[in-house]
Chains A and B, each alone.
Chain A
Amino acid sequence: MYIEQANLSKRLIRECYGPIVETVAGVLIRDGRLPLGLLIKNTKLSAREVKQALVVLIQHGVVTHAASKEGAGRRMVTYYSANTRVVLRQQRLGLYLALVEERMGKEGVAVFRTVMENGIMSIGTVKERLGSSEWSQAAQIKLDAATSKLVRERFIVAVAPGDTVTRIDKTMEAEAVELDKLAVLPTAKELLTIRRMLNDRAEQEYSNTTVVGMKRVAEEEADGHVSKVVVGPDGRTLMVANGTNGADGTNGSESQDTVDQTQCFRVYYDRLDVFLRNQQLVNYFADKYNAGAGAIVKAMLRITESRTKTCRDRRSEVLSVAQVINQLPQDAPLADAVDTGSDMFFQDLAASATSGNGTAKGGSGNGALTPAKRTELAFALLEVVRADASGIVVKVDDRGGGQYQLNFDRAASALRDQSLDTLVHEKFGSLHARIVRVLRDKQKLDEKSVATAAMMPIAACRERLHDLALAGFIDSYEIARTVDRNPSRMFYLWYINPQKQTRAAMRYIFKSMTNIFARLDKELAARAPLVAKTKRADVAADQSLLTDSEKNELAALSAAQTRLEVANVRLDGMLLAVHDISPEHASF
């Protein structure tokens, strides 16, 4: 836990939930796992206030609880612990809302926002809050459809009672249950076997694709004629679908999935990070090559989205070329993206793919591209992104024109390295960035070898190596030449430790974010009387009551706020690239 991360978390909690909740969360973050009694003592608040704060924090998933038996009397004591990861997500809420609105429409974002603001809520309660009972039937149907889509695509997930229990305690409890089955104390090997089994069970649970919270509802009218109003394929219009009973007179009732109104749901932030990561990947290829390459990767990621649960998944499903081409939008910028130079190789591939099973749905596309040409360009671009040095797009088979897969492990490394290289380049200079790339490529080197590879004088190289080491971006490894480990007779090898590099960058990011918040507070405090004046009813109704200088001050405040908030969002994007999307760090 970094001090900077703790300070930032407290700041965010204060902004979202107020000072009392901030005090309670601050103590939990500082002191770790605590029972209620100690929490009350350390916070110096009343028991009622602490309990209410804990309810708020548990409701929003910031705090988890776990009960354990303690003492001679084996009484149950409940411990509370804070999860700063959830807190830090608060900065991304704007991005999540924009993402949901883009994919689910206004109804979807309304449901999503209500669930998000309340932490855990049932759909029935959400509808009450939105007042949907007073809406028209068409609007209610749209709302139901949007809710079903949110649940099916795992933007919101069902909550079980055990979800608020601390994960490590659940694991220990499960382990204790297994150990109780044994007659004697376990050996190390047996313990390892039990832990592996529990791990496999957790993995299976994670891989389970069943969507919890949906139920099937049969819809049938009295005359046996089944008709229903459904949402059209564009997700916006409504249309009537008529069906008839079966020929033998049995009920031809059709059923559809709806969300269980009594089931509680919460927002699944880890799933939403997948979309943010995918956007960064698309930008990576678009910047490196062109918009056409970005469109190809975007199409591939769109296909994999439904099967990719969180950023923990290391590889995507296998995609065929036909799937990718079918997913490409008609206005994808392929025309000027790649120069195949009348290469027969891609023309033959295009011909074999369109003549076989791969029915490429090209249509007429934009006026300039025929379906065959579009397929040829798509093939060529696929090969371009496959040949990229990062190894993100991998060809696994040559059947049917090619089968491709996305390696998210390498994608996370590529995005992280790009962010960190840019940071080193901007903060220290191009020569420092060159040294970092040399060390990343060559692993451990002494300063002479680094100077030779980087083509710089050895004295300058030494200075730069120490600058980077001081900032935490590189590390040194000592090899003693003598038994007494005399420092003057040691080899010092420089290398990049990715975890340490990430931690160094994260410390900078957290501290900068805290500084931005502090500055924002200062800007608001400096103009507090003016802000209070603008909130007066008379001034709110008539802006001309403000003088010119006051208006200029307000404009300056607004500009400062915007600039600081945008900087915060960009820093959060960097945190996502550097840490959150890595499969090792992504939670599930």
Chain B
Amino acid sequence: MAELEAKIYEHALKNPNGIDNDYLNDALPEHTLEDIVNGVNRLLQSGQLELLQVGRTILYRGVHRSEMERMSELTSDERLVYKHIENSGGEGIWVRTLKQKTNLLQGVITRCLKVLEQRALIKSVKSVKHPTRKLYMLINVDPSSDVTGGPWYTDQEMDSDFIDQLARQCYQFIYAHSFPRHNTKAVYSANHTGYPTSSQIKRFIHENRITNVDLSTANIEELLTMLVYDGKVERVAPVFDMGAGGGGRPAATSNPRTDWMYRALRVNVRDSPLTDIPCGRCPVFDRCSDSGAITPAKCEYFRKWLAF
């Protein structure tokens, strides 16, 4: 029997995604199903195998010896909490969610978490989406970008300086490609296709080593969208290939996600007529009237403005 158990254990370790009864039956034809099932039960009891459920299928996964040693020191509650934390992966799990899934009392969960942290099996991280929540994950797991916020966050806080500097670099690159070099007052024609795309901008950042942070095309597009909302850049639709059978069908190799081009706008320094006068920026504008302590006739801001 020990030999059968050893074979089952070996097969389980070879398949980290788990094995089921059918697989074992095929792999060990010399043994009966009853023997195999008994062997599996003994391995489950000893902790060398653990159960997984994928959909409606029950699978068995091999537990490594190091893990077994770690688990053998834990109580069943602690083991349960550990398993749920392990299953959450890089997303982490919140205490309240843990309570819902395990149905354990709050005090028990708190004690288990404390023990696991002391044994350096788990760690707590803060999520940028929910700053007041503490999430728990395994100590050797890297938090996902949803938790850390991605490249825009440093130490759980949004790095505005980094974003602004990167945006400035992107804008300068786009500006350099938005107007003809020989005559910056001119514009390109409507069917010009030389405006930079997000993939080209990403390549520019990577080749020039503007930042060490690994940025995806989606990150670059977030930055470019921010520039669009700042009114510095506008998104230009991809030009259809007029030669492709007429009717303006897009080219066969076009990727609708990355083919949007970006064109810089001429940002003319323009002031609003309202803010050109002192009233536009006056901190007591709402209290100003014809009579009372604050009136246009007595206004100090007007006096300075007219004397300027």
Q: Which residues of A contact B (CB under 8 A)?
A: 7, 287-291, 293, 336-341, 343, 345-346, 380, 383-384, 386-387, 389, 419, 421-423, 425-427, 430, 433-434, 437-438, 441, 448, 453-457, 505, 508-509, 511-512, 514-516, 518-519, 521-523, 559-560, 563-564, 567, 570-571, 573-574
Of the listed stretches B31-39, B111-119, B137-145, B186-194, chain A binds: B186-194
* Cross-chain contact of B187 among A339, A448, A563 (Cβ < 8 A): A339
CA distance A573 to B290 in the complex (A): 24
Q: List CB contacts (< 8 Å) of B267-302 with chain A.
A: 268, 270-277, 279-281, 285, 288, 290, 295-297, 299, 302
Using CB atoms, name the residue of chain B closest to A567. Answer: B277
15 new A-B contacts, CB < 8 A, other than A426-B280, A522-B297, are A7-B290, A337-B185, A339-B187, A339-B192, A343-B189, A387-B190, A433-B230, A434-B226, A453-B225, A455-B163, A511-B279, A518-B290, A567-B273, A567-B276, A573-B273
CB within 8 Å for A336 and B186 given contacts A383-B191, A427-B274: yes
Report chain B residues within 8 Å CB of A426.
271-272, 274-275, 280
Report chain A residues within 8 Å CB of B16.
none
Asked if A338 contacts B188 (CB within 8 A), the reply is: yes
Asked if A422 contacts B185 (CB within 8 A), the reply is: no
Asked if A437 contacts B186 (CB within 8 A), the reply is: no
CA distance A324 to B203 in the complex (A): 43
Of the listed stretches B54-62, B82-90, B152-160, B207-215, chain A binds: B152-160
CA distance A176 to B84 in the complex (A): 78
Using CB atoms, name the residue of chain A closest to B308. Answer: A563
Using CB atoms, name the residue of chain B closest to A515. Answer: B296
Shortest distance between the CB of A393 and any CB in chain B (Å): 11
Report chain B residues within 8 Å CB of A509.
274
Binary interface profile of B, 165-200, with partner A (CB < 8 Å = 1, else 0)?
A: 000000000000000100101111111100000000
CA distance A434 to B212 in the complex (A): 27
Asked if A423 contacts B272 (CB within 8 A), the reply is: yes
CA distance A570 to B275 in the complex (A): 11
Using CB atoms, name the residue of chain B closest to A293. Answer: B187
CB within 8 Å for A512 and B226 given contacts A426-B275, A437-B231, A519-B302: no
Report chain A residues within 8 Å CB of B276.
567, 570
CB within 8 Å for A512 and B277 given contacts A338-B189, A456-B160: yes
* Cross-chain contact of B192 among A341, A456, A570, A574 (Cβ < 8 A): A341
Report chain B residues within 8 Å CB of A505.
274
Report chain A residues within 8 Å CB of B223.
455
Q: How many residues of B contact A (CB 8 A)?
A: 49
CA distance A256 to B267 in the complex (A): 52
CB pairs A–B below 8 angstroms (23 shown): A289-B187, A336-B183, A338-B187, A338-B189, A339-B186, A339-B187, A339-B189, A345-B191, A419-B272, A422-B271, A427-B272, A427-B274, A455-B152, A455-B222, A508-B285, A511-B285, A512-B279, A512-B280, A518-B290, A519-B306, A521-B297, A522-B296, A567-B276
Shortest distance between the CB of A561 and any CB in chain B (Å): 10
Using CB atoms, name the residue of chain B closest to A421. Answer: B231
B266 interface hit (Cβ, 8 Å): yes
CA distance A574 to B297 in the complex (A): 24
Report chain B residues within 8 Å CB of A453.
225, 229
B265 interface hit (Cβ, 8 Å): yes
Asked if A422 contacts B279 (CB within 8 A), the reply is: no
Report chain A residues within 8 Å CB of B78.
none
Asked if A519 contacts B296 (CB within 8 A), the reply is: yes
* Cross-chain contact of B234 among A389, A427, A574 (Cβ < 8 A): A389
Interface of chain A, helix or strand or loop or mixed? helix
Asked if A518 contacts B295 (CB within 8 A), the reply is: yes
Asked if A341 contacts B189 (CB within 8 A), the reply is: yes
Asked if B273 contacts A570 (CB within 8 A), the reply is: yes
CA distance A564 to B279 in the complex (A): 12
Q: Which residues of B contact A (CB under 8 A)?
A: 129, 152, 157-158, 160, 163, 180, 183, 185-192, 222-223, 225-226, 228-231, 234, 265-266, 268, 270-277, 279-281, 285, 288, 290, 295-297, 299, 302, 305-306
Shortest distance between the CB of B133 and any CB in chain A (Å): 14
CA distance A523 to B296 in the complex (A): 11
CA distance A166 to B163 in the complex (A): 59
Asked if B229 contacts A434 (CB within 8 A), the reply is: yes
Asked if B190 contacts A512 (CB within 8 A), the reply is: no
Report chain A residues within 8 Å CB of B186.
290, 336-339
Shortest distance between the CB of A9 and any CB in chain B (Å): 15
CA distance A441 to B229 in the complex (A): 9
CB within 8 Å for A512 and B274 given contacts A434-B226, A563-B306: yes
CA distance A426 to B275 in the complex (A): 6
CB within 8 Å for A457 and B160 given contacts A423-B272, A563-B306: yes
Report chain B residues within 8 Å CB of A519.
296-297, 299, 302, 306
Report chain A residues within 8 Å CB of B275.
423, 426-427
Asked if B187 contacts A337 (CB within 8 A), the reply is: yes
Report chain B residues within 8 Å CB of A456.
158, 160
Asked if B272 contacts A574 (CB within 8 A), the reply is: yes
Shortest distance between the CB of B184 and any CB in chain A (Å): 10
CA distance A455 to B158 in the complex (A): 8
Shortest distance between the CB of A488 and any CB in chain B (Å): 15
CA distance A409 to B288 in the complex (A): 36
Asked if A288 contacts B189 (CB within 8 A), the reply is: no
Report chain B residues within 8 Å CB of A291.
185
Asked if B158 contacts A457 (CB within 8 A), the reply is: yes
Report chain B residues within 8 Å CB of A422.
270-272
CB within 8 Å for A384 and B187 given contacts A455-B226, A457-B157: yes
Report chain B residues within 8 Å CB of A571.
273-274, 277
CA distance A517 to B305 in the complex (A): 15
Using CB atoms, name the residue of chain B closest to A559. Answer: B306
CA distance A291 to B185 in the complex (A): 9
Using CB atoms, name the residue of chain B closest to A7. Answer: B290
Shortest distance between the CB of B151 and any CB in chain A (Å): 12
Asked if B288 contacts A515 (CB within 8 A), the reply is: yes
Shortest distance between the CB of A335 and any CB in chain B (Å): 9
Asked if B280 contacts A574 (CB within 8 A), the reply is: no
CA distance A564 to B306 in the complex (A): 9
Shortest distance between the CB of A332 and any CB in chain B (Å): 14
* Cross-chain contact of A437 among B157, B160, B229, B270 (Cβ < 8 A): B229
Shortest distance between the CB of B303 and any CB in chain A (Å): 9
Asked if A515 contacts B279 (CB within 8 A), the reply is: yes
Report chain B residues within 8 Å CB of A512.
274, 277, 279-280
Report chain A residues within 8 Å CB of B152.
455
Asked if B230 contacts A339 (CB within 8 A), the reply is: no
Interface centre among B180, B190, B234 (most CB of A within 10 A): B190
